[in-house]
Each structure stands twice: as C-alpha cells, then as structure tokens.
Amino acid sequence: MANIGIQSVFEDKQREFKMEGAGSDRFERDFIAALNTATRRINRQADLETRISMTTQISSTLALSDEYQDVVEDLITIKLIQLGHRRRNEDADISRLDRDIDDRIDMIRQDILNQAQEGDTDNELDLVGLGAGTGGVSTGGTNA
C-alpha cells in the first residue's frame, strides 16, 4: 500500500474542474485548502492513531494508503465546489456524494481497526483499543 501522490490528484482535479494548463494560483491554493480540509475530516472521523499531516505543496504525498484515494478526491471535490469552482460535468450528484462521505470515512476507520486486530497476535482475547485483562470475567476459580 503506497501513500497518495498529491500531484496526480491535483492533475485529476484540474481536468475535472476545467483548469488544465490554466496555471491558476487561486485553484492551486483552493486545492491545498480542500486537501487539508479533507485531511482534517479524515483525521477526526476515522480516529486515526497516527494523524495525517497537513499539506503545503502539491509535490508531496499524503500519508494515507492509496486505496482510499477516491474518498480523499471526493472530499476535495465537495470543498472545491463550496469554494465556488465549477466542474466539467455539472450533472454529477454532489448532494449524494456529500451524503455518503461519512460512511466512506467510517470504512477507512473500520479497515484500520480490522488490520490492527489481524496484526495483534499476542493475545487472542484482547480487543483493539480495549486493552488486556479479565475485568469481570470468570477465570474458573471460586470465591471463598
């Protein structure tokens, strides 16, 4: 699993918003702002153990598996539209996209929890995030 390359996401958004070759400083600034808004939302809602860092330049990478690139791109699209940019395909259903995004961010959180549980082989009874112990669980002994 590789990190998300921001340059390729930026180029996708340039095409989506008819900004190819335009060299718009405003679009680049708004893209970075939208990317950072997406990052903050994923950090907050997915409750990541290791937070994703904010981005200041397009030539960097986002420390999130590229399997979630579609979620990041949709969050950027929503924010760019809120900032007044117009998409090439005006028929796309943005309200549906915005409505479904919380569930998609929750899928990131659940995937990370599942990976942590699969990787936790030291004690099969532990649950990720709950710690070890037998608090309240009978161990077969009797109280005298």
Residue-wise pLDDT for 88-131, tens only, equals 766 556 666 777 788 888 888 888 888 877 776 655 554 545 44
Quick one: pLDDT at residue 95? 67
3-state secondary structure of 22: coil
pLDDT of residue 21: 62
CB-based contact 19:27 (threshold 8 Å): yes
Kindly report, residue by residue over 32-59, the tens digit of the pLDDT.
999 999 999 999 988 877 889 999 999 9
Q: What are phi and psi of 3, to 5 degrees?
A: -70, 165
**Residue indicated by tokens 């009874």:** 125
Q: What is the pLDDT of residue 101?
A: 83
The one-letter amino acid code at 120 reads: D
Q: Which of 92, 44, 46 is nearest to 68 (CA)?
A: 46
In the prediction, which pLDDT does 23 show? 61
Q: What is the pLDDT of residue 67?
A: 92
pTM for the model:
0.70
